[in-house]
Amino acid sequence: MKALVSFVHSNEITQLAEIVKEELKKKNYSVTVTEVIKHKKKNKNKQIKLKSGVTNWKPFDLIVLGFPVIGISSSHLMNDYLKQCTNISGKQTAILVGCIGLHGNALKKASSIVSFHGGKVKDSLIISSFLGLNEKKIGQVKQFIQNL
């Protein structure tokens, strides 16, 4: 089975993406990890043009999305990435949010974009990264992946 771990960079989310990758490998997944990065050039339309990030989900059985939330703002980069993805219909996804403060509607927004395109959000986890990651939080992420 194949898994895609697609994430927006923050120190904590990047660290969690590596943990997710290792836990999925333990479950015999072949794992592709990709960071969602936007072009520095300004785009005429409001949608962010991506510099990198795998947008074709067809080859994957499971997609794990990870992104930070600072304050209560939704992750515009992750949302624009999801709007540009193809072959979402029928795909199992899991969403991991690392937040400093409240997560606001970020999880709901990402979930609704996936669902709108026919994907299924299997599970989600919100981790407070206000004081960084500790063993307890890392353990929660490992358990989250093992339960998928």
pLDDT at 74: 65
Query: Residue 59's domain spans which residues?
Result: 2-146
Contacts of 59 (CB under 8 A, 6+ apart): 2
DSSP 55-108: -B-TT-SEEEEEEEEETT---HHHHHHHHH-B--TT-EEEEEEEEES--TTHHH
List pLDDT tens digits, range 17-73. Answer: 999 999 999 999 999 999 998 765 555 555 566 667 899 999 999 999 999 987 666
Number of domains in the chain: 1
Residue 51: CATH number of its domain:
3.40.50.360
The reported pTM is 0.89
Tell me, what DSSP letter sits at residue 138? H
